Amino acid sequence: MKRKIFTPRTDWQIEHQNIGFDYFNLPSLDGSIYWSEGVAYEFSLKQIEQLEDAANELHQMCLSVVGDLIQRGHYPDYFHIPTAAIAHIEQSWQQNAAMLYGRFDFAYDGRSIKMLEYNADTPTGLLEASVAQWLWIEQVSGIPNRDQFNSIHEDLIKRWKTILPRGSHIHFAACQQAGREDWGNLEYLMDTAFQAHLQVSELSMENIGWDGQGFVDLNHHPIHNLFKLYPWEWIWEESFAQHLNPQTQWIEPCWKMLLSNKAILIELWKRYPNHPLLVETHPFDPQQTLSGKWVKKPILAREGANIRVLQDGLDQGAASGSFYFEDYDKHGYVVQKWVDTPSFSGQLPTLGLWMVGHQCAGMSIREDCYDIIGNDAHFAAHYFVE
């Protein structure tokens, strides 16, 4: 695993614009922009196979834990699952409601893989991971015998075909106030569904209506299938949650609430203690003193928010790169053993391993000079050589 510097492509900004990746130049804290054009990480084929196998194994471990929780009908308090959601979680699982995609975040030093978390409900960074970095490897020069671990685009199209019959209509929704990154990812997924011969429509979550029998869009057309780039825990805070019924197929399905909750890390460690791919994780207990260095993470949060460092039980302050958001403070926390991330020219990379359906389909990398990969951390392409 090496960090390499390359000559920027000619007109690379136009290439991004042409594929709808128009948020490539969002500003970062260090004064540069989101997409790192002249940077890429090099892997060996053996390393890629190791990462792919790890993601597939972890996904199956996660599904096994979810299945056990649902079978027992016991959801520990530290999950903070709304009571009203339980029946929908269980029903969607028992009906084998299909998942579309998810993303593991890994710490990796070229040898040891550690799962930091599973972004299983609303992961973004998909357009960059699938199309933008693939264009980069096609166009960059100076890398003989290169390839990229990336079949995300093709696999998404195939996955849609297994989820919905040809010609089905599916609505795509995100929060009205969401940034361009969210809507760019949503529109990209719409395009993959369209290429899978589905009919697609776009609307905001705020514009989903109820006609007394089912959910409808602004044209009063029924919403039979809905992809929502909107967290399930927010849905259960909405008034329309009382109308959830089997008439609408939700993607991601409600059982994903268990996977996208960082409390799943506690259950994984309980079931597979000292597994080489896992990081020791426990419920946060302010009365308990854990020796060594740990991070305190909210069970329901995004973009590295509200993460604090603990040393021998003492709060050392916010982790570098983290920020505070009040909404993420109202649920519980977990404590996870500190994992050192390797430094490459002062940059700390976190690997994103993308699941499409139940198979790993590709990888992306975010890097920053801070310990926590936040919203404005840089995206770097990758490749491997045999």
| pLDDT value of residue 362 | 98
| pLDDT value of residue 148 | 97
Rounded average pLDDT over 16-30: 93
| pLDDT value of residue 302 | 81
Whether pLDDT at 359 is above 90:
yes
| pLDDT value of residue 301 | 87
> Using DSSP, how many helices (H) and how many strands (E) does the chain show?
10, 19
| pLDDT value of residue 293 | 97
Long-range contacts of 140-146 (CB under 8 A, 24+ apart): 140/6, 140/9, 140/40, 141/7, 142/6, 142/7, 143/383, 143/385, 144/385, 145/385, 145/386, 146/383, 146/384, 146/385
Question: Which residues have CB under 8 Å from 64's CB, separation 6+?
Answer: 271
CA distances from 135 to 13, 42, 60 (A): 12, 16, 31
- Please report the beta strands in 159-241, taking only residues with DSSP state E, as ranges in sequence order: 169-174, 199-204, 209-210, 215-216, 225-229
| pLDDT value of residue 45 | 96
Q: Give the tens place of pLDDT for each residue, 206-220.
A: 999 999 889 999 999
Count of C-beta atoms within a 10 Å radius of residue 346: 8
Q: How many residues does the chain have?
A: 386
| pLDDT value of residue 349 | 97
Whether pLDDT at 330 is above 90:
no
| pLDDT value of residue 229 | 97
**What letter represents residue 250's amino acid?**
W
Q: Give the tens place of pLDDT for each residue, 136-176.
A: 999 998 888 889 999 999 999 999 999 999 999 999 999 99
Q: Please report where in the chains the tokens 């919203």 appear, as a residue.
A: 375
C-alpha 220/C-alpha 173 separation (Å) is 15
Rounded average pLDDT over 29-33: 88
Residue 71: what are its φ and ψ, rounded to 5°? -60, -40
| pLDDT value of residue 217 | 96
User: What is the distance in angstroms between the CA of the first residue and the CA of the last residue of the chain?
Assistant: 13
Q: Give the tens place of pLDDT for each residue, 60-100.
A: 999 999 999 999 999 999 999 999 999 999 999 999 999 99
Axis-axis angle for helices 45-72, 83-94 (nearest 10): 120
Q: What 3-state class would DSSP assign to 22?
A: coil
Q: What is the mean pLDDT of the chain?
A: 95
Q: What percent of the chain has pLDDT over 90?
A: 87
Whether pLDDT at 323 is above 90:
no
Rg for the chain (alpha carbons), in Å?
A: 21
| pLDDT value of residue 3 | 97
* Residue 245's pLDDT band (cuts 50, 70, 90): confident
Whether pLDDT at 303 is above 90:
no
Rounded average pLDDT over 352-368: 98
Q: How many CA atoms lie within 13 A of 293 on its CB side?
A: 7
Question: pTM for this one?
Answer: 0.96
Q: Give the tens place of pLDDT for each residue, 95-128.
A: 999 999 999 999 999 999 999 999 999 999 999 9
Rounded average pLDDT over 183-198: 97
| pLDDT value of residue 376 | 82
Residue 77 burial by Cβ neighbours in a 10 Å radius (0-12, 13-18, 19+) = exposed
Alpha helices in 100-179 (DSSP H): 126-127, 133-139, 152-163
Whether pLDDT at 264 is above 90:
yes
| pLDDT value of residue 365 | 98
Rounded average pLDDT over 342-359: 96
Q: Of 283, 267, 337, which is closest to residue 107 (Cα–Cα)?
A: 337
Residue 330 burial by Cβ neighbours in a 10 Å radius (0-12, 13-18, 19+) = exposed
